[in-house]
Structure 1
Amino acid sequence: MLNPGYPEFWVMISFLLFMGLLIWKGVPGIIGRALDARANAIRTELDEARRLRDEAQQLLADYQRKAREAEDEAKSIIDAAKREAESLAAETRRSLAEQVERRTKSAEEKIARAEAQAISDVRAAAVDLAVKASEGILKAKMAGEAGVSLAETAIRDLKGKLN
């Protein structure tokens, strides 16, 4: 089978000696510890990765919740602003209507006062004209001192009765 003259024999002997030396020096234990350490490091990294993923998911959930809250708050602010704008518009319309009504009433009162003043002025002018006309007629018909005195008395009485 294996003859010491064949190179395969010496390769097998070398291989067995090499394996024996590795076992004698404790290389399999060192390799086992190294693999265990590496497995522990990988396990630690996986645990850390899981923890970080959980934290990231928690942060994402928090940000999504805050975004929804901010959106709801923005909607409520917009709704409040719309209600306030509508209320302000209604108040402005009501105020404008009241102001127009007051100005219309004030204008009507001014017109009524001007009309009353005009009527009063026309009456006063008519009275003055009537008095002057009466004075002229009475002076023409009445002659002398008695006529003048009677005309002046009548004119004074007439002015007091008309005004």
Structure 2
Amino acid sequence: MLDIAILAAAAGEHADPSVGGVHLLNATFFVSAAMLVLIGIILWKKVPAAVAASLDAKIAGIKAELDEAQALRAEAEKLRAEYEAKLASASKEAADMNARAEAEAEAVLAKARTDAENLIARRQKMATDKIAAAERAAVAEIREKVAKAATGAAARLIAENHGAEADQALVDRTVAELGTRLN
């Protein structure tokens, strides 16, 4: 405060360029006048309206970007839901295909077992039939040999035991029987 008082006392000794106690030619006056001129020019050129329009345009651009981002997000959510549904469907379809494949494999295995059992039964029957046929053939062959042997033995016995007289008697008797049989 003392400094202000000294300055005020010293200022009183100099010539005062003020009019009515107001100093017109000091720095504050010139800065204030320049500011008033600058504010006047700014208002005259409609700078606040231009700034407001620029800010409004920037706000509209940001809002458009936000709307676009929101639309893209909604589309992405929709695609994600769609792909999740497709994935669930594919998983279900894969499980169904697996179940069908297992069922088909079981059916093929059961059919193979049945076919194998049928084949074994057929081959067993064929073997049994072959054995029976071989037995019948052997029995027929033995009978044939026995019949030939018996016929040969009978022929030898007849040849040894029958002579011409016995044959003549046999022929006469057979002829006599034929006469009675034909009548």
Consecutive unaligned residues of structure 1, counting only runs of 5 or more, are 151-163
Q: Per-residue deviation at 1:12?
A: 4.9
Q: Per-residue deviation at 1:146?
A: 2.4
Would you say how many aligned residue pairs link Structure 1 and Structure 2? 149
Please give the TM-score of this superposition, normalised by the length of structure 2.
0.71
The within-5 A match list for 1:98-117 is 98-117=118-137
Larger Rg, first or second structure (1 or 2): 2
> Percent identity between the aligned chains?
34
State the distance in 2 between where 1:4 and 1:50 align. 61
The structure where helix makes up a greater share of residues is: 1
State the match for 1:144 in structure 2.
Answer: 164
Q: Does 1:64 align with 2:87?
A: no
State the distance in 1 between where 2:93 and 2:52 align. 60
Q: Per-residue deviation at 1:11?
A: 4.9
User: Of residues 126, 131, 155 in structure 2, which corresponds to 1:135?
Assistant: 155
4+ runs of 1 displaced by more than 6 Å? Answer: none
Consecutive unaligned residues of structure 2, counting only runs of 5 or more, are 1-21, 171-183
Change (3 A) 1:57 1:2: farther
State the distance in 2 between where 1:88 and 1:146 align. 80
After superposition, what is the alpha-carbon deviation per residue over 1:96-125, rounded to whole angstroms, capped at 9, x for unaligned?
A: 201210221122112112211210110111
Please give the TM-score of this superposition, normalised by the length of structure 1.
0.79
Q: CA RMSD in A?
A: 2.4
The within-5 A match list for 1:82-93 is 82-93=102-113
